[in-house]
Structure 1
Amino acid sequence: MSKQGQRRRTQKGRQNPIDSLIDEIKKVDSLKKVFKPENYALPDGWAHKTAESLSKDAMNSNQLRKIFTQLKNIEESIDRNKGNELTQEQMNKILLLMPQIAYARGRNLIPWPFYNLMKECITPNKIRDREDYKSFVSFYTSVIAYSKMGR
């Protein structure tokens, strides 16, 4: 089995919950279709499962918070928009998160499943407007909350 295939499986042979979420994201054309509170906010929802998986991978909460701070700063800017569209500058700031996430992955500060999740989410194909971005930030906020519960 390839390294990628090994990463996609847990010890008991089941698919990693983050990989299952990535599969769901790939099926839709925008994040607001996946990141609905009923899908992620409750115990055993996507956010809870993601946080559990990250704690097993020993992801440092500082890395989660670093990204979160930037997400919230961008969200403040987006909240000032009159319509549902994102400006080019806002989209650029969102997309420029990926090189930082890749850098953290390169330094082994974040696990592969988390990097792959962010890579699938942070793209103009999935974040098309304000609603998509806000649903992503709400999901991410829930992951942080559940990760604190497990520590």
Structure 2
Amino acid sequence: MILPVVKLGTLALRTICKPIANRLKKEAGLHPRFRQFIINIAQANHRFTTTVQRHIYGHATNVAIRPLDEEKAVQAAADLIGELFVFTVAAAAVTFEVQRSSRSEARKEEMRIRELQEMKQKDEEIARKLNFLNRNWKSWNNLSKNEGLLAFSTSGMAMC
């Protein structure tokens, strides 16, 4: 019963995080200090991706990279923040699901181990009872041989 509720909650969380990410993107460029911070992030990201692309395509990497204009930098950083938010929520949901699943598997394994231990205990108890019965049977057999009961019973059967 709880599994569908957890799955539904995870889906709802992912669905809700998209508008939140859009709101973050919208509000990101309004605060002056935060705006400057995200512009710096966007410029650093632009330099990194441009350098990687140049390296991949075999172009010169020591060439100066033109910075983005302010509005493009704000938009790029806002998009990055929105995507990071969505990714973080998705990663948290997956992590939660994996942990829940591993706890469930651990409980199942613990139950299997407990059942196996119970079966071993029952097996040992049956072995002890069998050993006890075997010893009693041997002692009764020896007693009957010593007292001649076996010979009497076999001779009595021969007469019948």
- Into which bin does the TM-score normalised by the smaller protein fall? under 0.3
Select the structure of larger CA radius of gyration.
Answer: 2
More helix, by proportion: 2
TM-score (norm: length of structure 2): 0.22
TM-score (norm: length of structure 1): 0.23
